[in-house]
Structure 1
């Protein structure tokens, strides 16, 4: 039996700059301590992984291979702020999609008219 401690898998520093910016925005110094940023990033990464596992568990329960937004909504059903944010982002995404479609349609028509002249 080995006496080496069990090491966690090293995750890439995906959110380091974002965590630094958030710390500064919430009143910390402009260059926060590396250990503080690393701890917060680990907490954030663990939370995201846990949410993804929970959503995947919901998808598996309904016998689907793919995770849908509804699975995340179900996983966050007791956290009204996060659930509201998901619904707000979905609504904004739909508005942006419709605006792009309208813009593309109107742009295509105006280009077609100028090409006929």
Structure 2
């Protein structure tokens, strides 16, 4: 699943903006972007692998869901708290959109 042999970056455009936002040059070195891209990709692969392992331990009919990802970061307080905050925000945004679009009369 690893793409270490490939020289392409998946998140280059987004990472350039993020690096600049965190204090790097407006046009960061290509090597910096590639390194951060490798780290991000590796983290995502690991997180997905952990979530899949958790899903495999659950009921066989259970699909991979957000609970698998939250469970995989539960021993990392900062990441766990942020995951919960983002899920709560997602829920609130869904509710606001539902009300805003007139679907409140259910």
Scaled to the shorter chain, the TM-score interval is 0.7 to 0.9
Give the root-mean-square deviation of aligned CA atoms: 2.3
Residue ranges of structure 2 left out of the alignment (5+ in a row): none
Q: 1:54 to 1:11 in 2, by over 3 A?
A: farther
Asked if 1:83 corresponds to 2:84, the answer is no
Whole-Å separation in 2 of the counterparts to 1:51 and 1:97: 25
Q: 1:69 to 1:107 in 2, by over 3 A?
A: closer
Instruction: Detail structure 1 runs of 4+ shifted over 3 Å in the superposition.
Output: none
Alignment partner, residue 32 of structure 2: 36
| Further displaced range: 47-56 or 59-68 | 59-68
CA contact (8 A) 2:98 2:104 kept: no
Whole-Å separation in 1 of the counterparts to 2:103 and 2:48: 39
Residue ranges of structure 1 left out of the alignment (5+ in a row): 1-6, 109-117
Asked if 1:56 corresponds to 2:69, the answer is no
Which of the residues 15, 29, 36 maps onto 2:11?
15
Please give the TM-score of this superposition, normalised by the length of structure 1. 0.75
Question: Larger radius of gyration, structure 1 or 2?
Answer: 1
What SS class does the counterpart of residue 105 from structure 1 fall into? coil
**Number of aligned residue pairs:** 102
